[in-house]
Copies of this chain bind each other. A is one copy, B any other.
Amino acid sequence: MEEHMKKCICTLPDEDEMFDLAELFKIFGDSTRIRILFVLFDNEHSVSDIADVLNMTQSAVSHQLKILRQAKLVSSRRDGKQIFYSLADEHVHTIIQVGREHIEE
């Protein structure tokens, strides 16, 4: 089949958009990060709080928080020596909620 004859699937989004979408879901695709997000569901928490609750190293938590921060899924504020993290927006709740609905079957 020659190039100009290639069948057209007109509804395919830009390659960039599909790539970005995969990158977004990749963030949710790690149980450590999911657990961190759940800890932040009800309230903001400091890094050491999260590490305590999840029984993880401060360093490991901090590394993952950096990834969540870069993806704009969490935001942070400093209060003295501590830094408090919270969910960035409602999309985080929504995405996780839809995922949970799919699981329960």
Binding site for B on A (CB under 8 A): 1, 6-7, 9, 11-13, 17-31, 33-35, 38-39, 41-42, 49, 52-53, 89, 91, 94-96, 98-103
Bound complex: CA of A21 vs CA of B98, how far in Å? 10
Q: For A28, list chain B residues within 8 Å (CB).
A: 21-22, 25, 28-29
Q: For A103, list chain B residues within 8 Å (CB).
A: 17, 20-21, 24
B17 touches A100 (CB 8 A): yes
Q: Which of B1, B34, B91 contacts A22 (CB 8 A)?
A: B34
Q: For A1, list chain B residues within 8 Å (CB).
A: 52
Nearest to A45 among chain B residues (CB) is B9
Q: For A18, list chain B residues within 8 Å (CB).
A: 31, 34-35, 38
B91 touches A7 (CB 8 A): no
Q: What are 13 A-B interface contacts by the 8 Å CB criterion?
A: A1-B52, A9-B42, A11-B42, A12-B35, A12-B39, A12-B53, A21-B28, A21-B31, A21-B103, A23-B29, A24-B99, A24-B102, A28-B28
